[in-house]
Every structure is written in C-alpha cells, then in structure tokens.
C-alpha cells in the first residue's frame, strides 16, 4: 500500500532537480562526476597521502558545501530538515562500514551511479543501481517483516 | 575557480538533499519498504535529478572540454565485474540497515550529532579499506 500521508512528490522532485543541477555544474565547469562516495574517497586519499593530493582543494570545498547545504535550508525554513534515525549504536556503525566498503568496491553510490551514471546511460551504473536497489528492498523486507529488527 | 565550483555544487547538492527528504533515514526506509506502508517519494528524487542532468548532458554534448579544466574526467571501465556488483550489493544492504547513503551521511554532519558521526566515520573506514579488498576479488 502506498503511504499517501507521507508521500511528498513535489519536494522530492524539486530536491532531486537541485541534485541534478549540482551534478551538471560540477561536470560542466570542472569536468568531474558528482559522486559523493568517490569525492569523499579521493579527498581522504589526498589527506592521507598528500603526494597524491592533486584535485584535493575542490573536493574539500565540495564536501564543506554539502555540509553547508542543510544550514542554508535552515536559513530558508527556520529548521534543519527532519531526520529520524532507524538505527543506533552498533547497527549504525555496521551500516556505515558496509556503505563505505560497498560504495568503495562498487565505485559509486546513489549520486555517482544513480544520477550521473544513469544520465549518461552507463551500463555499469545501471547494473549497480539495479543491484543496490534490489539488496536494499530485500534487506528492508527481511528486517521489517521477517526478523522485526 | 575549480574550488569555487566545488563549493557551489556542494551547497546546491546539500540543499537538494535537504529538500528532497534524503536526510531522513525513516523516509529512506519507508521508500525501501515495498511490503509495508510504502512511500514512493524518493523515486521522484532520482527522477528529478535525472531529468535535469540528462538535459545538461545534451546541452554539453558539443563541448570538447569543461570551462575550468582540461578535460572531462569520466570512468574508463566498461566491464560489469565482481567488485561492481558485489560492492553495489553490499551498499544496498548498508543503505537499508542505516537509512543513509554517502551524500546524506556527509550532509548530516551539519546536525553536529553523535549519530551522524557514528555512521560517517565507519563509512570513511570502509571507503579506505575497499582498495585493499578490491584487488583480491
């Protein structure tokens, strides 16, 4: 059943449009793919091994910008966006670890594969998106309806 | 100039994530819960992002290089291999367990909360560790 009360297609579409715009700007001006995991991994690499730090500054500026984003939202609306966690403590740590490992191995996440990769019709990105959507749906089914975590 | 572009793109990305609802793990989980009270909103996030980005790609098609860089840097690999599929499979599991993907995990640092750090720091550890496993699978 679709949960009509919490369905927010308009803000989702506007927010998604801004995400697409951010990706378009980064590509048009810097020639770079907007992948949150890839930019984070490369920035981390640049910090740990400064010799390999070519392109560190725009990446750090991007990451700082992403953190400023919710603050801009707060200036516009008076509050930070609603954020209620579904996981705490150990589960949250394990989830973070798996997300980092998975996006590192898979060379991308929801932004890099989901928005940028699909927009240039990359077969690798399509395969990645189908795969992470599938395991996301299955895992949620297991936790919510089989084991009730 | 690349630095300013990075900052501007980052702020728009973070604002887009904020407006879209992607920073709310409960909403992400409701999107992934097809068998429960399903909230399809996040499909519209991807739709909106794709529409704008596909249009931008069409406009940029004639350009041979970006405005502030020597070349367009795109991934070179074309093969669908084990790291890609295994990594994506793992990512989906972690996304469902925590309700956060990498972009929102970064933006969530704005809340200055322990929860945000308890996801973000392990994510960095995972991202950094991935390279050591990459060559072995």
- Least trusted range by pLDDT, from A50-59, A63-72, A107-116, B43-52: A50-59
Residues 6+ apart with CB under 8 A from B12: A18, A19, A21, A22, A25, A65, A69
Domain extent for B24: 2-134
Cβ–Cβ < 8 Å for A135, B97? no
Nearest to A110 by CA among B60, B100, B59, B69: B100
Q: Is the ipTM of this complex over 0.90?
A: yes
CB contacts, 8 Å: B86 with chain A: 105-106
Cβ–Cβ < 8 Å for B92, A67? no
pLDDT confidence bin for A54, thresholds 50/70/90: confident
pLDDT at site A121: 95
pLDDT confidence bin for A1, thresholds 50/70/90: confident
pLDDT at site B86: 97
**Per the CB < 8 Å rule, is A115 touching B50?**
yes
Q: What are phi and psi of B105, to 5 degrees?
A: -65, -35
**Per the CB < 8 Å rule, is A111 touching B12?**
no
pLDDT at site B135: 73
Residues making up chain B, counted from first to last: 137
Q: How far is CA A120 from CA A108, A139, B42, B60, in A?
A: 14, 29, 20, 12
pLDDT at site A5: 86
| Res A29 pLDDT > 80 | yes
Number of domains in chain B: 1
pLDDT confidence bin for A52, thresholds 50/70/90: low
Identify which of B45, B74, B97 has the shortest CB distance to residue A16. Answer: B45
Identify which of B23, B44, B123 has the shortest CB distance to residue A99. Answer: B123
pLDDT at site A103: 98
**Per the CB < 8 Å rule, is B77 touching A96?**
no
Cβ–Cβ < 8 Å for B106, A40? yes
**Per the CB < 8 Å rule, is A99 touching B94?**
yes
Residues of chain B with pLDDT under 50: none
Mean pLDDT of chain A, nearest integer? 95
């Amino acid at each position: 059943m679709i949960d009509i009360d919490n369905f927010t297609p308009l803000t989702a579409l506007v927010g998604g449009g801004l995400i697409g715009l951010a990706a378009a700007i980064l590509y048009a001006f810097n020639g770079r793919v907007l992948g949150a995991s890839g930019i984070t991994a490369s920035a981390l690499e640049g910090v740990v091994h400064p010799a390999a730090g070519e392109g560190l500054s725009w990446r750090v500026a991007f990451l700082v910008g992403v953190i400023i984003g919710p603050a801009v939202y707060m200036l516009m609306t008076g509050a930070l966006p609603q954020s209620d966690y579904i996981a705490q403590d150990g589960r949250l740590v394990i989830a973070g670890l798996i997300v980092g490992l998975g996006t590192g191995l898979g060379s991308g996440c929801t932004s890099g594969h989901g928005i940028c990769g699909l927009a240039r019709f990359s077969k690798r990105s399509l395969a990645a998106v189908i795969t992470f959507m599938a395991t996301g749906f299955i895992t949620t089914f297991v936790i919510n309806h089989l084991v009730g975590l | 100039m690349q630095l300013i572009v990075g900052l501007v793109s980052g702020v728009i990305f973070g604002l887009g994530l904020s407006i879209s609802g992607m920073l709310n793990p409960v909403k992400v989980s409701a999107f992934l819960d097809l068998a429960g009270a399903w909230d399809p909103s996040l499909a519209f996030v991807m739709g909106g992002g794709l529409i704008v980005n596909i249009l931008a790609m069409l406009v940029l098609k004639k350009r041979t290089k970006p405005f502030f860089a020597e070349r367009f840097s795109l991934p070179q690999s074309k093969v669908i291999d084990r790291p890609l599929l295994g990594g994506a499979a793992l990512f989906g599991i972690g996304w469902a367990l925590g309700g956060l993907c990498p972009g929102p995990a970064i933006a969530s640092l704005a809340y200055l909360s322990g929860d945000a750090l308890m996801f973000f720091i392990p994510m960095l550890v995972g991202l950094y560790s991935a390279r050591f496993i990459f060559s072995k699978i």
